[in-house]
Structure 1
């Protein structure tokens, strides 16, 4: 199949392209570095010619709510309109598990708006709500790190491996549209502060971590709020320890 990946050069996008090509599919890379501007729609018609399915793993601004909502909805509408013109049969969107339990987060508000555009759009769809990735903790700590210290909220998560996410996206893209798919999560529950500590240790870094809710995440995410629905979850195989083994003295990759 000919499958396009929007956000093809990112953490998940690059893995998804590699997975598709490994399985014998033709992967079309959609990104600014490949001459395609999703905000303007430039280059989309040419890129989507003959494409059977599109996997959207794009990521945008996440701090200002209106800026984030405008970015995600504009990009998604442009993508869906071009897909309709090209006769694309399946739109697969990577989203976030527990998205509707958290109100005061700009990124979550934007992803909810993006889902609305997809569910009411012209192309049959599958939405894959994934938990946070294994590299999320180091990224969060990096946002606040200063003078050897970083603040990290004591979030309880069930993180998933980026490679496993790519495998599931590729698998679903070649099938029939599934609507809203089960939550995609890793096999174990983890504490975000401990994840950051262990990631830094594996990478040979020393960062003093300060557990606090006074920062990027609010107490509305406390307890089991960020854990997937146990009655509607697909458990990916790779554990956090297995992912850590690949991180020895390597910098944490960027993620969403």
Structure 2
């Protein structure tokens, strides 16, 4: 079976990817700063990539400030790709976002665009898994959009997906042939305001959700269809109603 190194392998998605790959008999190595591998500084990369067939990058910036996130993704990805070339890695898989190829002014997306370009230009065969927003982030989306007891969000469409399904898609990509760009999404599209409204209501959160299409999403005003997948995307089955009872809010 293949040796697959998962950068960010102890995080939300990475730990699930490692478990999925291990269950199917692959040698999956969780690589992150707390296991001695730091793609931002380069620490431990040469050692962990010895004998690796595939690298999966699901790492994330600790800061979402535009300059910080750009620095993280460009530096980390450059270090990783250079080490992969030296090690003879044959397949690079990276988790990215639906909407990076569409007009928008989100700083985080700009950093992911820069990361994607580095991967495409690297000469290493690749799979870029573009995911829609995760169900798991509904709380943080509501929190950053809250003033007093009111959550103000646009009605721009999203088609959110469960983290378990994202991990399944990434693991499948890691053991398959390089596919270039693919998109994955959950089964339902609804307005961002409705996404938050349904989740908060289920959880008994007393905040009121108000729709305002001029309200920013992570600092930018977005178009109605920027964040939903194109035709031909892989659609996973987990719905919001199925996900909510399994995932109570953290205390």
Output the TM-score relative to the length of structure 1. Answer: 0.89
**5+ long unaligned stretches in structure 1:** none
1:7 CA drift (Å): 1.0
1:190 aligns with 2:190: yes
1:244 aligns with 2:244: yes
Alignment of 1:160-171 (within 5 A): 160-171=161-172
Give the equivalent residue in structure 2 for 1:71.
72
* Structure 1 Cα separation of the partners of residues 154 and 18 of structure 2: 33
**5+ long unaligned stretches in structure 2:** none
Give the equivalent residue in structure 2 for 1:208.
208
Give the equivalent residue in structure 2 for 1:7.
8
* Structure 1 Cα separation of the partners of residues 199 and 178 of structure 2: 36
**Cα distance per residue 1:127-183 (max 9 Å; x no partner):** 1111111123222112244544433332211111211111111111112211122x1
1:100 CA drift (Å): 1.8
RMSD: 1.9
1:25 CA drift (Å): 1.3
Is the Cα contact below 8 Å between 1:185 and 1:235 reproduced in 2?
Answer: yes
Is the Cα contact below 8 Å between 1:159 and 1:189 reproduced in 2?
Answer: yes
* Structure 2 Cα separation of the partners of residues 94 and 238 of structure 1: 19
* Structure 1 Cα separation of the partners of residues 19 and 38 of structure 2: 22
Is the Cα contact below 8 Å between 1:137 and 1:192 reproduced in 2?
Answer: no
**Cα distance per residue 1:75-114 (max 9 Å; x no partner):** 0011111111112111001111121213311001000000
* Structure 1 Cα separation of the partners of residues 147 and 250 of structure 2: 17
Alignment of 1:11-30 (within 5 A): 11-30=12-31
1:98 aligns with 2:99: yes
Give the equivalent residue in structure 2 for 1:38.
39
Q: Cα 1:33–1:151, aligned 2, differ >3 Å: closer, same or farther?
A: farther
Runs of 4+ in 1 over 4 A off after TM superposition: none
